[in-house]
Structure 1
């Protein structure tokens, strides 16, 4: 709890510093607090250049952050969230400590010089790096390290968007990929702490000012459902274009990597000259779209422009997130969709702004396949309960459409392109249709639930696994008793009767004998200890034990496998 609060406080302070850096570099390089709202004005620092200064600004920014990233933290390039997901899934939550500083400077320079990316990816990586660094300092276990990384991500999202619930679900849905009471409690503490600090600095208001929302006719639900399907397609399309342009940049560039952002910044500058609304994150443009400030043709132009500008920013080696661009794209899509519907069925469609709000969440869900986060963050941004039903409908359909069209999300595709699959077995592994039962080992020595500490300590000293499964009087699996739990209990002074094994048993991830081995491997890799208990299909009785060695034997069938034992 103390560590979670500490990480949340660090993420909140980091968010304040990061937003100050963005504002400072934006004023320095554009002469405005947010140039997207300035609409092609000149830079007062160099008025003789007129609006053409936007061609030079990305080049200058690239010359500053390109060498910084290339020299000190190459993982700070890009949108950041995939690197955090990889660290949690396969690296025990270990993140290079200097990433937080490099990412903050590089992303602030990129956004301030016109990079059309968001600030949520950087703050997630910054907060996660802080959590990982704190975990290393106090030398926590890998499980705790992963949880601290998730706390940093939750705190970063909460403080940046003033959305504490969204921070919690973002961390559990995307970073941890699992839901548990422990993870929920820790991320809530971090998120609340970061939100309190963020609100002290920025006030208790959402980062966007959005119009009131209400459903006027039941027939609108059909329109929202169709919008969800379209948004799912657009979300997948955004993901594909993002990596197509990155591939094109990789193919075209032959110079040193530190110079790539500056050289590519010239192309980005030409886009900004034509569409200055693409400069930076673009929240003022998004707000104006939800309020009906643009015609349909210009909304579609802004949609396409954002897809291209964000993809080019990432492709040339820029640093920033894709969360805010997906919200921007969704708002343009929804506003255009609502305007068209208003022309076709004016008495039924209702306000186009409502479709812009729903489109924001639906496109993000289509790109990330994080429906809970999408629902919660839009609810927190608007503070209106009336948004929930149409928002849930559109987001679920967008997520389902995205899943039908693509195996990967905007976050996982980056890793798969590098040969990393967070949820599958090792590449080229000959796992076939094997189940856990075919490779599990014999059950370790079992401990009755009413066993005393002396008996447990004696059996643990002879155990090869450092843990003992605990069974109740009917032979049903209760949990695992670790050597650490027994050692701590033996050093405590008891006023009454010492605890029994059942009181010290801890729940642990358990597999079933009929589970596919390819699925079980992910659970095995992310779990601490020397193996996992294997239960019968009814999940009551212990029938075996899956170890890392047993899993390796499945990858090398020539090695003899031990006979499985059952109880």
Structure 2
């Protein structure tokens, strides 16, 4: 009996030892497993979805508490049922009360929660390894909900992007994810927040990739889609499967309308960039005027915001009911232009005094007012051709946002998701592309990057204090390797490339003009083709990489170097466009070694 017990004990001990040797699921396993990013994206999406539900609830609660209504802009000028004896004058006090609540909160716990949020997330991804403090999610939720609930004329996309991104960054830090994966989780949080808040899952994906990551890849697309879908499921379970705006049906009645939409796209770009400039002009004025403690600034500035709300109560909060009425043709041209100017002032003032909220919804609002006024004008001039006013309001919304943020894909997708009509795509794409191109001609910055550049931060430049990036290309470039004539045969080019050690060589035509670079990979692939299909010379294989000049900062040139095939790129004379040197990965690394 004792032998049986001893054997049993031995088996149990062996089993215990085996179990202890079996690798259990760990945080490291989740981080490094091929399916790890999938699981993390779903978790971030779920967190962003729950965060959006809480955020929306906070906005409604504070708005109802401070104005007595779910959305005061739906009944502008009405009295507050909590204090009816004040009549419409209660709007003078509400921004002050809100400022007294969120001002100390932001100043004490998370100063980065001030403003519209998206630039801070872009900076975190571009230069800070995706690191965002977890307390930002809580502070941003409360501060933005208090700002909007107390009459602040801002949107909710900036806050929810920052909230979702903070959740993604926190999860990345908890799981000790790599920097690239942490950045991806930040983008997943942004995508989930946009998707759940606006019931626009596709827009969430493209917002994250176009504005937050600034790049497209299969892994990033898959992860952001998972996060967006997960957040959308939670959002639809809470808010219903309806768009956050009710917009009129869209159709193009006459082919000449495309010309009118194109002109509207150009005008909207000017207005969008004008809004960006005006926003920071008012912020500068507020900075210049205020001399007191920062925590008190929103309350004192709330007096000025209250005067704007008293004169134009439609500016209270986000203002979606006013936007919807404008798309339905409910306002005259003069009042539409007044609402446009009023939104610019109210939003700029809300941000300038230290409020917390986004500029995406104000951009849509301004675009709707512009488009409606434009539509009424062309309808009066050419009534048989112009078509419905609501169509111009929709196009104006997308084009103004594209002009301000320079995110054309996001603008197209979100307007398509709002309307659900495929007929909007052609005129929308036309207007938005023209708005984006016009905006790029007017300014190198967007409404998001301009905030950072004013603080001396260039997202495309080196991180402050970085060992690389401040040098100019001309100081680190190598001598130019041998130039290949475009008439060089493939076999000869293969020999020359193998001897050069560069993996790529510049190519010139018969007159000595630079035409591009040919890589060893391109030549090898061409030689592997069928004899009849392969080109005889390298002329067809030469392709110019992104231009690099000697005066260009090394940090900017690295983008061209990393995206180019081969091991380097030619450095071109800025005036003549001829190769004068060679920038390789080795020369860039030597620049790092020389400064460390």
TM value normalised by structure 2: 0.77
Report the equivalent of 2:5.
none
Contact 2:264 2:371 in 1 (8 A): yes
Aligned to 2:459: 422
Task: Give 1:545's match in structure 2, choosing from 572, 581, 585.
Answer: 585
Cα 1:434–1:514 shift into 2, 3 Å: farther
1:342 partnered with 2:342? no
Q: Is the 8 A contact 2:411 2:432 kept in 1?
A: yes
| 1:127 equivalenced with 2:164 (yes/no) | yes
Alignment partner, residue 438 of structure 1: 478
Query: Equivalent of 2:229, from 187, 192, 201?
Result: 192
C-alpha displacement at 1:407, in angstroms?
1.3
Q: How far, CA to CA, are the matches of 2:107 and 2:231 in structure 1?
A: 30
Question: Is 1:373 aligned to 2:413, yes or no?
Answer: no
SS at match of 2:88: helix
Query: What SS does structure 2 have at the residue aligned with 1:179?
Result: coil
TM-aligned CA distance change 1:136 to 1:547, over 3 Å: farther
Answer whether contact 1:123 1:157 (CA < 8 A) is retained: yes
Q: Are 1:521 and 2:555 counterparts?
A: yes
Residues 80 and 121 of structure 1 are in contact (CA less than 8 Å); yes or no, is this contact kept in structure 2?
A: yes
Distance change >3 Å, CA 543–CA 222, structure 1 → 2: closer
Pairs within 5 Å for 1:108-257 = 108-257=145-294
Contact 2:472 2:554 in 1 (8 A): no
Q: Measure how far apart 1:521 and its partner are.
A: 2.4
Q: What's the secondary structure of 1:209's corresponding residue?
A: coil
Residues in 2 aligned to 1:191 and 1:98: alpha-carbon distance in whole angstroms: 23
Q: Is the CA contact 1:57–1:113 (under 8 Å) kept in the aligned structure 2? A: yes
Match of 2:99 among 44, 54, 62: 62
The answer to whether structure 1 residue 326 and structure 2 residue 366 are counterparts is no
Are the aligned partners of 2:53 and 2:235 in contact in 1 as well (CA < 8 Å)?
yes
Indicate yes or no: 2:329 matched with 1:297: no
Contact 2:569 2:584 in 1 (8 A): no
- Alignment partner, residue 129 of structure 2: 92
From 40, 44, 65, the counterpart of 1:7: 44
Q: Quick one: distance in 1 between partners of 2:447 and 2:559? A: 24
- Deviations along 1:466-518, one digit per CA (max 9) or x if unpaired, are xxx99xxx9759xxxxxxxxxxxxxxxxxxxxxxxxxxxxxxxxx97974585
Residues 361 and 535 (structure 1), Cα distance of their counterparts in 2 relative to 1, 3 Å cut: same
Quick check: 2:412–2:432 contact (8 Å CA) kept in 1?
yes
Q: How does 1:28-107 map to 2 (within 5 A)?
A: 28-107=65-144
Alpha carbons 1:132, 1:148 under 8 Å: kept: yes
Offset from partner CA, 1:264-305 (integer Å, 9 cap, x none):
000000000011100000000000000000010000000000
Structure 1 position 433, deviation (Å): 5.0
In 1, Cα distance between the equivalents of 2:229 and 2:561?
28
Which structure 1 residue ranges, 5 or more long, are not aligned? 441-468, 478-510, 560-567
Deviations 1:298-354 (A, max 9, x none): 000000000000000000000000000000000000000000001011111010100
Moved more, 425-434 or 266-275: 425-434
1:366 CA drift (Å):
0.4
Give the equivalent residue in structure 2 for 1:535: 567
CA distance, structure 1, for counterparts of residue 443 and residue 583 of structure 2: 38
Q: 1:186 offset after TM fit, Å?
A: 0.6
Instruction: Report the Cα distance in structure 2 between the residues aligned to 1:93 and 1:527, rounded to whole angstroms.
Output: 23
Question: Tell me, what secondary structure is at the counterpart of 2:347?
Answer: helix
Cα pair 1:61 1:109 within 8 Å, conserved = yes
Indicate if the aligned counterparts of 1:124 and 1:157 stay in contact, CA closer than 8 A. yes
* Deviation of the 1:438 alpha carbon: 3.2
Number of the residue aligned with 1:265: 302
**Is 1:405 aligned with 2:442?**
yes
**Aligned Cα root-mean-square deviation (Å):** 3.0
C-alpha contact (below 8 Å) 1:512/1:535 kept by paired residues: no
Give, in angstroms, the shift of residue 39 of structure 1.
1.6
The secondary structure found in structure 2 opposite 1:410 is coil
3-state SS of 2:474 partner: coil
**Matched residues, number:** 489
Q: For residue 249 of structure 2, give the secondary structure of its aligned residue in structure 1.
A: coil
State whether residues 109 and 135 of structure 2, in contact with CA within 8 Å, keep that contact through their aligned partners in structure 1: yes
Seen in structure 2, the aligned counterparts of structure 1 residues 171 and 430 have a Cα distance that, compared at 3 Å, is: closer
Query: Does the 8 Å contact 1:425/1:519 carry over to 2?
Result: no
Q: 1:348 to 1:533 in 2, by over 3 A?
A: closer
Relative distance call for 1:543 and 1:40 in structure 2 (3 A) is: closer
C-alpha contact 1:435 1:513 (8 A) present in aligned 2 = no
Q: Which residue of 2 is the match for residue 307 of structure 1?
A: 344
Q: Which runs of 5+ in 2 are unaligned?
A: 1-37, 481-501, 504-518, 523-543, 571-581
The structural deviation recorded for 1:430 is: 6.0
Counterparts of 1:303 and 1:532, CA distance in 2: 45
- Which protein has the larger Cα radius of gyration, Structure 1 or Structure 2? 2
Distance in structure 2 (CA, Å) of the matches to 1:367 and 1:74: 25
Q: Determine if the alignment matches structure 1 residue 21 to structure 2 residue 72.
A: no
